[in-house]
């Protein structure tokens, strides 16, 4: 067991999977000698060489199509898209190729590739570099979408994603890269399994990525309000661990869903609908949603802080649910 940063945990996972499997290779913008914008691929090109850690031109559409082709022909590519905001450029390859080839080829073609990217606000990166497009990605059948919130899950879930036989979108958050935590190779959670970060009796808070930490902070504040909050880290946006969700609602009878994406047609809408469909009889109040307003993320720090979901807005939603 070692204590390391989230970014270092990702780097370790990539290194170990590349050592274990010569078909794994990385490519993306500035991931080679520079080590990536957030240093996740630091020193990997020096160890594995430029044929397995490849710098590319700026063409997200071409790179995603390359990942699809490489995966079909027997390798396990790991593609880095520098910012999640650029994912719309990748959607043709994801929607019309990667997500459907298993179906149209009747299982004869496997598509084992990982698309890593980072999103989220809070760093003053402006409207073009701060989006969370979770709902758009999770909407696509045939793709798995994961969003680890801790260094341990960053390590374990990236290894699981690389080994998966299908396409996996791996969502990182720019404000988590420097978070420190213990990492061990003993625990390897499968994709699609949620985890309860804090047990509670009165309300269940379901969150993803950095919002898990905001939810935990909200739970601390709610203790002072006399409310015991359970915090469930979904970890996997698709497949969704409905068993963990319904079990938690059965215990608390109130639910708050939190995601940093937009509210309208967003991931919280799907979570709320899923809870209503699968746990309606256990609810004592409507599901509360905490999400980004339907607007561009402001550049100015006070305005950005005002619109991004926070511990305070999660606390308010939880109080509304129980009262």
Contact 266, 259 (CB under 8 A): yes
CA-based angle 115:90:36, to the nearest 5?
Answer: 45
SS3 call for 198: strand
Tokens representing 124 are: 């003053």
CATH topology match: 2-183 vs 195-322:
yes
Phi and psi dihedrals of 286, rounded to 5?
-60, 155
Q: How far apart are CA 277 and CA 223, in angstroms?
A: 29
Sign of CA dihedral 159, 45, 62, 72: negative
Q: Per-residue pLDDT tens for 2-44?
A: 999 999 999 999 999 999 999 999 999 999 999 999 999 999 9
Region at 79 (left for phi over 0; alpha for psi -120 to 50; beta for the rest): beta
Contact 183, 12 (CB under 8 A): yes
Tokens representing 307 are: 């619109």
Helices 267-279, 242-252: axis angle to 10 degrees equals 70
Q: State residue 188's pLDDT score.
A: 78
- 155 contact partners, CB below 8 Å, separation of at least 6: 9, 10, 12, 13, 183, 185
Q: State residue 29's pLDDT score.
A: 96
- 50 contact partners, CB below 8 Å, separation of at least 6: 32
Query: Domain 2-183 - what CATH class?
Result: alpha beta
H/E segment holding residue 46? helix 44-48
H/E segment holding residue 289? strand 288-292
Please give the biggest Cα pair distance in the chain. 59
The CATH number of 195-322 is which of 3.30.2010.10, 1.20.1260.10, 3.40.50.920, 3.40.1260.20? 3.40.50.920
Residues known to be catalytic? 60, 129
Tokens representing 82 are: 């520098």
| Tens-level pLDDT at each residue, the chain (323 residues) | 799 999 999 999 999 999 999 999 999 999 999 999 999 999 999 999 999 999 999 999 999 999 999 999 999 999 999 999 999 999 999 999 999 999 999 989 889 999 999 999 999 999 999 999 999 999 999 999 999 999 999 999 999 999 999 999 999 999 999 999 999 988 678 899 999 999 999 999 999 999 999 999 999 999 999 999 999 999 999 999 999 999 999 999 999 999 999 999 999 999 999 999 999 999 999 999 999 999 999 999 999 999 999 999 999 999 999 99
Contact 87, 81 (CB under 8 A): yes
The CA-based dihedral angle spanning residues 14, 17, 20, 23, taken in that order and rounded to the nearest 10 degrees: -100
Intra-chain end-to-end CA distance of the chain, in Å: 43
Domain ranges of the chain: 2-183, 195-322
Q: Are strands 168-173 and 180-183 parallel, antiparallel or unpaired?
A: unpaired
Q: Per-residue pLDDT tens for 60-69?
A: 999 999 999 9
Q: How far apart are CA 261 and CA 207, in angstroms?
A: 11
Cis, bond preceding 239 (omega within 30 deg of 0): yes
């Amino acid at each position: 067991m070692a204590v390391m940063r989230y970014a270092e945990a990702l780097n370790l996972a990539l290194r170990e999977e590349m050592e274990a499997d010569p078909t794994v290779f990385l490519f993306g913008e500035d991931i080679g000698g520079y080590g990536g914008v957030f240093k996740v691929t630091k020193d990997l090109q020096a160890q594995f060489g430029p044929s397995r850690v490849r710098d590319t031109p700026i063409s997200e559409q071409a790179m995603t199509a390359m990942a699809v082709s490489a995966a079909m022909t027997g390798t396990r590519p790991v593609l880095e898209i520098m910012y999640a905001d650029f994912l719309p450029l990748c959607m043709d390859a994801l929607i019309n190729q990667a997500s459907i080839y298993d179906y149209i080829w009747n299982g004869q073609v496997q598509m084992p590739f990982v698309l890593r990217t980072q999103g989220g606000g809070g760093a003053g990166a402006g409207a073009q570099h701060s989006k969370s497009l979770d709902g758009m990605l999770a909407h696509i059948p045939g793709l798995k979408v994961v969003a680890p919130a801790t260094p341990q899950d960053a390590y374990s879930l990236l290894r699981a994603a690389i080994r998966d036989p299908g396409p996996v979108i791996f969502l990182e958050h720019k404000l988590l890269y420097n978070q420190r935590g213990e990492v061990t190779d003993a625990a390897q959670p499968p994709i699609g399994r949620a985890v309860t970060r804090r047990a509670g009796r009165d309300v269940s808070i379901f969150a993803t990525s950095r919002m898990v930490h905001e939810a935990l902070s909200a739970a601390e504040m709610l203790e002072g309000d006399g409310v015991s909050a359970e915090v469930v880290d979904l970890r996997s946006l698709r497949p969704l661990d409905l068993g963990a969700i319904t079990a938690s609602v059965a215990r608390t009878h109130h639910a708050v869903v939190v995601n940093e994406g937009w509210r309208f047609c967003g991931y919280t809408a799907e979570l709320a609908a899923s809870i209503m469909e699968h746990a309606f009889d256990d609810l004592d109040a409507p599901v509360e949603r905490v999400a980004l307003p339907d607007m561009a993320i402001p550049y100015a720090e006070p305005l950005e802080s005002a619109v991004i979901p926070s511990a305070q807005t999660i606390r308010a939603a939880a109080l509304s649910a129980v009262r």
